[in-house]
Amino acid sequence: MGQARWAAVVPVKRLHAAKSRLRGALPAVPHEELALALVADTVGAVLACPAVAEVLVVTADPRVAATVGAAGARVVPDHPDAGLNAALRHGAQAAADDGRSWLAALTADLPALRPAELAAALHAVGTDPTGVRRFVADAPGTGTVLLTTPPGVPLAPRFGAGSAAAHLASGAVPLPGAWPSLRRDVDTAADLADAARLGLGPATGALTGVGPAAPGRRPRADRPVYGAGMQGTVATFDAQSRTGVLLLDDGTELPFPARAFDASGLRLLRLGQRLTVHTDPDGGVVRVTLPTMV
């Protein structure tokens, strides 16, 4: 089987109606700003995925359209009351005009998504000789974050409550694989904290700070506060977003934002490399350095 050519479809509600269960998760941040940041980071990661040839964002919101259009996505106008699955079918039809692209439908709330994980999932689908619709369930296992279909096969989306079971019942086949950043959609404040542990994209990461005086602060969200000088090893590092996760000596995973890496003076990080953590009074990571640096 040759290399699959992928078109990704991402539906986005009007911002005032999006992510209602996340309202108030960041009290100092207007809800629409947080919703837009989730979209921007999701679409940015999909655009950066080497397997994806085109990203279509189906939306009726002008701010969303301007943001994703500037990033390089193709905007497909949506009827504001059409609903999620109707928007996906509309986007799939627009993407299928040439009849050659495989289709990938993704939710717009994956702010920790890593392009490499999405590429691995799409590669697993594209090299599957059965040619069936496949889906990836979210972290709890009840929802769906990714639905794929080969050329010529209707997408037939069933997104919504209990979508994993609905997609299974429709004939789609679950796609196995860990892919934690792909499976971590964000519906609640707890989900946002979990996504932060994986490493947020730049737009959402900027909003989870407490303000200009503490740009590297992490969301508290029931995570412990660590003192300056604690050391850990690099568990993950994304050179494109300049974010990563440290495995601390007590076994805790601690994400660090791009600003913390930028303040390090380093050009690259290697997996397994030892680092010292520099924090603000609330435990937010503001700098990571080599143990030999001051």
Which residues sit in the known binding site for phosphoenolpyruvate? 144, 160, 163
State the Cα–Cα distance between residues 56 and 48, nearest whole angstrom.
14
By C-alpha distance, which of 13, 32, 7 is closest to 22?
32
- Evaluate whether 38 touches 188 at the Cβ level (below 8 Å): no
Alpha helices in 239-284 (DSSP H): 258-262
Which residues lie across from 275 on neighbouring strands?
Answer: 232
Residue 279: how many other CB atoms lie within 10 Å: 22
Angle, nearest 10°, between helix axes 31-48 and 115-126? 50
Q: Backbone phi, then psi, for 281, in 5-degree steps?
A: -60, -25
Binding region: 144, 160, 163
What angle is formed at CA 65 by the lines to CA 62 and CA 67, rounded to 5 degrees? 110
State the Cα–Cα distance between residues 48 and 247, nearest whole angstrom.
26
- Evaluate whether 240 touches 202 at the Cβ level (below 8 Å): no
Task: State the pairing for strand pair 144-149/102-106.
Answer: antiparallel
What type of residue is 16? H
Tokens 């999909």 correspond to 46
